[in-house]
Amino acid sequence: MDTFLHDCDPDTQAQASDHLSRQSVQVTVQLVAAAAWQQVPTTYLVCAQDGGTPARLQREFARRASGVVELDAGHHPFLSQPAAVRDLLLNL
């Protein structure tokens, strides 16, 4: 919780925790055959307070995107700041 949901209220943390499941380690080693970001415009949302993926790494990943938006949010901004994520999407 401290890593991924630290900026969410306790009710949201509890609801999100109820939906957690294990992720296969295979997703971290599979080669990517095609990436849509190479053909279509993309926007990377850097989450400055992310405890799981440090913002400095996100900024490196974001270099490949057409646009970059930074939000002072943790790993799940769609849970902690849904209005900000909504507004970002509507403005794209």
Q: What is the largest CA-CA distance in the chain?
A: 40
User: What is the tens place of the pLDDT at every residue in 64-76?
Assistant: 999 999 999 999 9
pLDDT at 83: 98
Give residue 1's pLDDT band: very low, low, confident or very high (50, 70, 90): confident
pLDDT tens digit string along 13-56?
A: 999 999 999 999 998 899 988 888 889 999 999 999 999 999 99
Give the number of C-alpha atoms closer than 13 A to the C-alpha of residue 70, restricted to the C-beta side.
Answer: 13
* Model-wide pTM > 0.75: yes
Q: What are phi and psi of 66, to 5 degrees?
A: -70, -35
Task: State residue 38's pLDDT score.
Answer: 87
